[in-house]
Amino acid sequence: MKARVFVTLKTGVLDPQGKAIHHALEGLGFSGVNDVRAGKLIELDLADGTTSSDIEDMCRKLLANTVIENFRIERLEDA
């Protein structure tokens, strides 16, 4: 089975990279962008039977730093 983990900065945490991307978009003439937040997508190829709580454990222990980041897990069964 496969799973995707989306790691994003918590609301209120300053995102300098998102800001830089925002400025670059404006520089290219895209004027309608209100805000940009950059995050990470991590794709996992997992042994069958890996539980959601196993994946959550991976997120808490390594994939996300829960001091500043949130994570969201998307399971792609039999994908």
Partner 1 sequence: MKSAVIVFPGSNCDRDVAVALEQVTGRKPNMVWHKESDLPADTDFIALPGGFSYGDYLRSGAMAARSPIMRAVKEAAGRGVPLIGICNGFQVLTEAGLLPGALMRNAALSFVCRPVSLRVENSQSLFTAQYDSGETVVFPVAHHDGNYQADEATLDRLEGQGRVAFRYLDEVNGSARRIAGILNDAGNVLGLMPHPERVVEPAHGGTDGRRLFEGLLETVS
Q: Which residues bind partner 1 (CB under 8 A)?
A: 13-14, 16-17, 19-20, 61-63, 65, 67-68
CB contact at 8 A, 48 and 63: no
Report the residue number, 13 or 33, with the smaller CB distance to partner 1.
13
SS3 string, 37-63, reads CCCEEEEEECCCCCCHHHHHHHHHHHH
Given the complex with partner 1, which of 28 and 79 has the nearer CB atom? Answer: 28
Pick between residue 70 and residue 78 the one whose CB is nearest to partner 1: 70
User: Closest distance between partner 1 and the C-beta of residue 48, in Å?
Assistant: 25
